[in-house]
Amino acid sequence: MEATVLYNVPHEIPWQVYIPLYFYFTGLSAGSFILSTLSTVFGIKRFKPMALPAAIISFLLLLLAPACLILDLHQPFRFWHTLVPEYFNRTSALSFGSWLLTAYPVANLIYIYYIYVKNDRVTRVLGTITVPLAIFVHAYTGFAFALVRARAWWHSALMPGFFLTSALLSGIALLLVVALIMDRYREEKLDPDLFKSLRLMMVGILLTDLFWNGCFWLTLMVSTADGIASIWFALHEKLYIYGEIVCGMLVPLALLVLPWTRQHRAWLYVASLLIIGGVFLMRYSVVYIGFDIPLS
């Protein structure tokens, strides 16, 4: 049936690039924080040298993340409205998120102080309290999407999990880059096993992320008209296929697994940088492919 639209009013996309950047920064922050707690809370001694740098990176990224959020507001000077208890909306993921985003940097800063003064017992307690905060700070962004029933590309129970695993992935990749640089300039060399564990963690999480992607593709392909349109639109999108899937996931996976590249520090470095870029593209494509499907 031939049909032509005579007249319609589309509305512009309400979010600027700050929003995917924000998701990216909180993800990186949560990922590096969890990595930092591996030694302080979970007692894996190998990660001990990474605890302080990871926590500091996590805190610095946490300063950038809310800045991105506020920059994207059309009324930036009203950002404090989200922290007025009277205005709190208990059905809104963003309401919870703004409180988490306030509590988490504070907890993070106290945690950094106790690592710095090498008080292991207090660090352990603080880390235990802050890990769930770190997880929720990132998971809520997944829920912010998953709870939007209007857009098939977002409305999925997998979304929070996908956001968490890719947050961890980007955190590990960033820390690997930091560790490689530290190893080069520090007197005391890092344990080579550290790199091996980081590499294996990245491989595991990359496979999980690919699994999430496969789940999304399959379920969307037999979904509603909007869902089918989203997935076919995504598969036609070069940035999604070549950027996120190929360069951000498959190439680093190959680099980390293949025996003739995985031994070399340089390839490890390249793979980490590709992953850091790929996770940003994942945030970007989640946000904008969702908006690309017209609703009116």
Residue 192, CA distances (Å) to 176, 179, 201 in order: 12, 11, 15
Which residue's CB is nearer to other proteins, number 1 or number 117? 1
Which residue's CB is nearer to other proteins, number 122 or number 228? 228
Residue 14's Cβ-count burial label (10 Å; 0-12, 13-18, 19+) is exposed
Which residue's CB is nearer to other proteins, number 70 or number 257? 70
Binding region for other proteins (CB under 8 A) out of 31-39, 131-139, 201-209, 285-293: 285-293
Coil/strand/helix, residue 142: helix
CA distance 23 to 284: 9
Instruction: Give least dist CB 220 to other proteins, A.
Output: 12
Instruction: Give least dist CB 132 to other proteins, A.
Output: 21
Angle between helices 225-236 and 192-221 (to 10 degrees): 130
Establish if 223 lies at the interface with other proteins (CB under 8 A).
Answer: no
Dig out the tokens for 196 from the structure.
Answer: 């091996």
**Residue 44 CA from chain centroid, whole number:** 23
Establish if 238 lies at the interface with other proteins (CB under 8 A).
Answer: no
Which of 49, 53, 97, 171 touches other proteins (CB under 8 A)? 97
Which of 56, 60, 72, 182 touches other proteins (CB under 8 A)? 72
Q: What is the DSSP letter of 262?
A: H
Which residue's CB is nearer to other proteins, number 47 or number 154? 154
Establish if 100 lies at the interface with other proteins (CB under 8 A).
Answer: no
Residue 263's Cβ-count burial label (10 Å; 0-12, 13-18, 19+) is exposed
Which of 138, 151, 199, 283 touches other proteins (CB under 8 A)? 151
Residue 172 near residue 268 (C-beta atoms within 8 A): no
Amino acid type, 150: A
Angle between helices 18-40 and 51-72 (to 10 degrees): 160
Establish if 222 lies at the interface with other proteins (CB under 8 A).
Answer: no
Residue with tokens 């300063």: 63
CA distance 17 to 20: 6
Residue 29, CA distances (Å) to 62, 172, 259 in order: 6, 10, 31
Which of 2, 187, 188, 193 touches other proteins (CB under 8 A)? 2
- The site string for other proteins over 19-58 (x = CB under 8 A, - otherwise) reads ----------------------------------------
Establish if 189 lies at the interface with other proteins (CB under 8 A).
Answer: no
Binding region for other proteins (CB under 8 A) out of 68-76, 119-127, 243-251, 259-267: 68-76
Which residue's CB is nearer to other proteins, number 50 or number 289? 289
Binding region for other proteins (CB under 8 A) out of 82-90, 120-128, 129-137, 209-217: 82-90
CA distance 168 to 206: 10
Which residue's CB is nearer to other proteins, number 35 or number 289? 289
* Residue ranges in contact with other proteins by CB under 8 A: 1-18, 69, 72-75, 78-79, 81-82, 84, 86-89, 91-95, 97-98, 144, 147-151, 224-226, 228-229, 232-233, 236, 288, 290-296
